[in-house]
Amino acid sequence: MKQPFATLAAVLAASLLISCLCVKSSAAPRTPTFASDIAPIIYQNCASCHHAGQVAPFSLTSYQDVEQHAQTIAAATQIRYMPPWHVDNPGLFQNSRHLTAAQITLLKEWVKAGCPRGNMKLAPAAPHYNKAGWIMGTPDAVYVPSRSYQLAAAGSDVYRCFVIHTNYPTDRWVKSVEIRPGNYHVVHHIICYLDTSGAARKLEAATHDGQPGYISFGGPGFPAKGMLGGWAPGTQPMTMPHNVGILLPKGADIVMQVHYHKDGKQETDLSHVGLIFCKKPVDKKMLIMPLLQFNLNIPPNDPNYIATAQLKVPANVHLLSVFPHMHLLGHTMNVTCTLPSGKSFPLVTVPDWNFNWQGFYTYKKPLAVPAGSVLHLTASYNNTESNPFNPHNPPVMVHWGDQTTDEMCLCFITFTVDQQHLLQNTAYAPGQNTK
Ligand code: HEC
């Protein structure tokens, strides 16, 4: 994140200069106020990360908070450094954090006017978060590894899998998942797999390094029964639409794979996963398909290496969300769907990939995709020195791999199958899916 900081400092200096030169403008039709204009923008687009216990370094949940950071807020939004939102599909996704140009101007004008409060009686209520910092609300169950993991100061990245027993005697359906790293300095990303075979327990039992869990690069080291979702900076909690659940099979272990990136200091981490269970019977199971291209041979000094992937959809489905993923050379990713009629529409467009901000982008409404449709992925990579994130100087040939310095070309897509109706098949739908 070095690059944006430099730019931000420059913009900040410029905006301070401008605000010194400006006297409060009386020509403006109306001065924006915190109560009517600013609080709604901040509470809706910023507070979810900017509150105690979350990823951002300070809270933005009151007038005082916002006023205290007013100058940097104006600057950071002006250059679209904040809020992080790295896809280009207005209107397609829910929880969009995209600010309009008008909202950005309001923030700037408000700061210029000296941050007036306005009539605070009209201000929206400050957002209330669970005391423990959960965004999705109070979880029904919280899982953590048996104890903290100690990470050495230096060396290559670590992929550690923690085996967490759930011990439910019946299948459970999960409505929302929120994964929270214990240590934002070193947790790079987390994926929660499910295991019902006991394989993960065996891998842990065979590990004798005095620490919880076991090492496994890439996958979890066994064929996973399913996934409970993942976390990377910017990821929001995942919540299923009406009637849909994520299956947590009875007796399953949650295998929490944490990718650690060392920061030069000894660190400890204890990451959490919180679940909210479905309180009503579930008709459809959430499934995940990866659209990916393993065959990556990105030559040094190629500013625009292109990788593609395709997948023909075998049944009528509804798409719930997408999770684009590349590493440090990734520049753009474009995923589209072509219907059997030949008509195409975008599934997600990433105009300027930023490795530091990743997550599931959830469609406002599940997207209907009929059998025979083709999903296309096109990604581009910049393996030159002009890419500020390039980990190799001089650039080298890069292939698919698990290390941050390798590459990936991948988009996870969550979906449901139209023909599936668990409510009509009581043998499959667990009756105990009410809490
Ligand atoms: C997805 C999480 C997330 C959201 C949403 C978010 N922020 Fe941030 N914000 C962060 C994190 C993490 C940092 C610290 C790391 C960094 O600066 O990149 C940060 C840093 C900042 C900074 C400090 C930048 C600096 O100069 O150091 C400002 C100002 C800021 N955010 C304002 C906002 C505003 C205003 C919004 C909403 C319009 C917003 N943020 C939304 C996560 C978020």
SS3 411: strand
- Domain end residue (candidates: 259, 282, 305): 282
Are 91 and 109 part of one and the same domain? yes
Are 202 and 277 part of one and the same domain? yes
Nearest CA to ligand 1 atom 13: 56
Are 266 and 309 part of one and the same domain? no
- Of the listed ranges 154-158, 279-283, 378-382, 395-399, the one predicted with least confidence: 154-158
Judge if the beta carbon of residue 1 lies within 6 A of ligand 1: yes
Are 305 and 268 part of one and the same domain? no
Are 295 and 322 part of one and the same domain? yes
Residue 149 lies in a domain: yes
Q: What is the pLDDT of residue 16?
A: 37
Residue 132 lies in a domain: no
Residue 435 lies in a domain: no
Of residues 78 and 21, more confidently modeled: 78
CATH number of the structural domain spanning residue 347? 2.60.120.230
- Domain end residue (candidates: 230, 253, 282): 282
Mutate to test the pocket of ligand 1, among 46, 71, 103, 185 (most ligand atoms within 8 A of CB): 46
Judge if the beta carbon of residue 254 lies within 6 A of ligand 1: no
Are 84 and 13 part of one and the same domain? yes
How are beta strands 410-417 and 226-231 bridged, if at all?
unpaired
Residue 411 lies in a domain: yes
Q: What is the DSSP letter of 326?
A: -
Which residues 6+ apart lie within 8 Å of 375 measured at CB? 291, 310, 311, 312, 313, 335, 336, 337, 347, 369, 413
DSSP-assigned letters across all residues of 94-146? TT--PPPHHHHHHHHHHHHTT-----GGGSPPPP---TT--SS-S-SEEE--S
Residue 135 lies in a domain: no
Mean pLDDT, rounded, for 274-280: 96
**Please, are residues 144 and 164 in contact by the beta-carbon 8 Å criterion?**
yes
Cα separation, 405 vs 386, whole angstroms: 16
Residue 362 lies in a domain: yes
pLDDT, tens digit (0-9, with 9 covering 90-100), for 363-378 = 999 999 999 999 999 9
Are 205 and 218 part of one and the same domain? yes
Are 93 and 149 part of one and the same domain? no
Q: Find the 82 Cα to ligand 1 centroid distance in Å.
A: 5
Judge if the beta carbon of residue 86 lies within 6 A of ligand 1: no
- Of the listed ranges 90-99, 327-336, 381-390, 408-417, the one predicted with least confidence: 90-99
- Domain that residue 317 falls in: 287-417
Nearest C-alpha neighbor of 187 from the set 154, 157, 216, 210:
157
pLDDT, tens digit (0-9, with 9 covering 90-100), for 205-232 = 999 999 999 998 777 888 888 889 888 8
Are 316 and 376 part of one and the same domain? yes
Residue 127 lies in a domain: no
Nearest CA to ligand 1 atom 42: 56
> What's the Cα-to-Cα distance from 415 to each of 87, 281, 296, rounded to whole Å?
20, 18, 27
Cα separation, 323 vs 410, whole angstroms: 8
**Please, are residues 320 and 244 in contact by the beta-carbon 8 Å criterion?**
yes
Q: Find the 83 Cα to ligand 1 centroid distance in Å.
A: 6
Are 259 and 227 part of one and the same domain? yes
Cα separation, 407 vs 300, whole angstroms: 13
Residue 427 lies in a domain: no
Nearest CA to ligand 1 atom 12: 56
Q: Find the 56 Cα to ligand 1 centroid distance in Å.
A: 6
Structure tokens at 339: 């219907």
Q: From the alpha carbon of 233, which atom of ligand 1 is closest?
A: 1
> What is the number of structural domains in the chain?
3
Q: What is the mean pLDDT of the chain?
A: 88
- Domain end residue (candidates: 252, 282, 312): 282
> Is it the case that residue 68 has pLDDT exceeding 70?
yes
Nearest C-alpha neighbor of 96 from the set 357, 415, 362:
362
Are 100 and 182 part of one and the same domain? no
Q: Find the 105 Cα to ligand 1 centroid distance in Å.
A: 18
Are 180 and 301 part of one and the same domain? no
Q: From the alpha carbon of 45, which atom of ligand 1 is closest?
A: 37
CATH number of the structural domain spanning residue 269? 2.60.120.310
Judge if the beta carbon of residue 84 lies within 6 A of ligand 1: yes
Of residues 172 and 135, more confidently modeled: 172
Q: What percent of the chain has pLDDT over 90?
A: 70
